[in-house]
Amino acid sequence: MVTNENRRILLINPSIRSFFNKNFNILPPLVFGIISALTPKYWKITMWDENIDNDSEFGFDYDIVAITTNTVNILRSYELADIYRAKNIKVIFGGWHSASMLDEALSHADSVIIGSVESEWLKFLNDFENNEIKKVYKEISQKYEFIKADNSIFKSKYFSTAVETSRGCKNHCKFCGIHINGHQAYKRKPISLVITEITEADSDFIFFLDNNFFGGDYDYLEQLFNEMISLKLKKKWITAVSVNFFNSQKLIKLAAKSGACLLFVGFETDSFKTLKYLGKENVKSIGSKNNNIFEDYRKIVKSCHKNGILISGNIIIGFENDTEEIILNRMFFFKNLKLDSCKSVILTPLPGTAFFNEIINQKKLSELIFPNDWNKFLYIKNVIKHKNLSSEFLEKNVIYCNQTYFKQSLMKTVRSFFILKSIKSSAFFYYYLKNFANYESNLLNKLFYFFLGNNFFK
């Protein structure tokens, strides 16, 4: 049995700089705040976020190293795990990638948590203290209870505070990893707990991290927004929503009044047929009257702008029936939607998803060697064999789309500020662009620092 009174845990968020190409500090890794809240106080916890922390600050004086994994950082996760295991330190993984590629992950870690950390973390710690850790800790019942994250572990290193209002998803989009290793049931966090987390946040900016913020739950969101309004919390917030969120003008107005400044919307494509193939709920929520997808999407953008909310979206290219002409037309389609931020990605089959399994079964995955070739699953590299498209065309055009066609400019950014009509909201949107679109302006940095005194703009 472990008897050391000074037990130490290192939580690592591996670098994703190869994906975002710069320091990524807009929001913290929320799971670490949850782990910190769950862990008995006799454990000393240190957090290392490779995206912002100096590597030299951290050594090897730990009993446990916990690493959060996803496909874009998995090779770095394995590299770090191997280093610490070589020092006889126990390593545990969590996250979608390690859950979907379990055998691969266990060749680099002592244990893997599958599912919600709330139900498994204390089991792992108890087993560690008794020298009997298991290889897999898998949530079975999904009867976990939400707890308030310990945000003190983040030490105000991040621009915004991360908050969940729910977990799981009712939808089954083919390319999404939410339901890896079983259905992730949709579960709402009590509004009282959400309000407490927002109220106690040390930032004026909230990033709702839900897999499905809307969830078809009008009553819940109306109550949440009304609570935020009545308490005069004066927080600005960002989240991702599905298209059917916009079926309620009342909800849009309440969202704006409660502090919404940017909504990320999963438009994905300009084709009803492709939306249906992906299993997207969009196809059930739009086009019912006139079958005009552009008109329906434009109404969403106009409605948001009218209420002082910005819209960001993704374009996916590289579907089975895509041609060069179809892709160029799709870019033109989204350009004319007049989104405030837009990014193009190549359709990528993440391991464990229904789409990945389909590509494997149809033998359409490019000739790859794993795990080394996971570094090609960055949404800017093509890993699928296409009958109509070359990898060169897809990779060239996704770069062109992001760096030229939808490139953010000072003029476009300033124009968005006139929609928001709020210095704080504008600052949040600009910081979103710095992290997700690699856009930065010295002039805007100086202006926001002058008006808000926020050191993140120094």
pLDDT tens profile 387-417: 999 999 999 999 988 888 788 888 888 999 9
Peptide bond before residue 190 is cis, with ω within 30 degrees of 0 = no
Determine contact, residues 243/266, Cβ cutoff 8 Å.
yes
pLDDT of residue 404: 84
pLDDT of residue 43: 96
pLDDT of residue 352: 87
What pTM was estimated for this model as a whole? Answer: 0.92
pLDDT of residue 182: 59
| Cα distance between the two ends of the chain | 49
Q: Which residues sit opposite 342 in a β-bridge?
A: 313
pLDDT of residue 284: 56
Helix, coil or strand: residue 359 = helix
Strands 187-188 and 341-346 turn out to be: unpaired
CA distance 192 to 399: 44
pLDDT of residue 20: 58
Single-letter code of the amino acid located at 139: E
Q: Which residues sit opposite 263 in a β-bridge?
A: 239, 311
- Residue tagged 């003029």 (tokens): 411
Query: What one-character DSSP code corresponds to residue 352?
Result: T
Q: Which residues sit opposite 238 in a β-bridge?
A: 207, 262
pLDDT of residue 55: 73
Single-letter code of the amino acid located at 78: Y
Helix (H) or strand (E) holding 43: strand 43-49
Please, what are the domains in the chain? Answer: 7-138 (3.40.50.280), 159-407 (3.20.20.70), 409-458 (no CATH)
Look at residues 366, 438, 439, 457 and name the one whose alpha carbon lies nearest to residue 19.
438
The residues near 298 (Cβ < 8 Å, ≥ 6 apart) are 337, 338
The residues near 415 (Cβ < 8 Å, ≥ 6 apart) are none
What is the Cα 120 distance to its own chain's centre? 22
pLDDT of residue 409: 87
Point out the residues of the chain with pLDDT beneath 70. Answer: 1-5, 17-22, 56, 142, 177-184, 281-290
Look at residues 422, 439, 409, 34 and name the one whose alpha carbon lies nearest to residue 205.
422
CA distance 168 to 191: 17
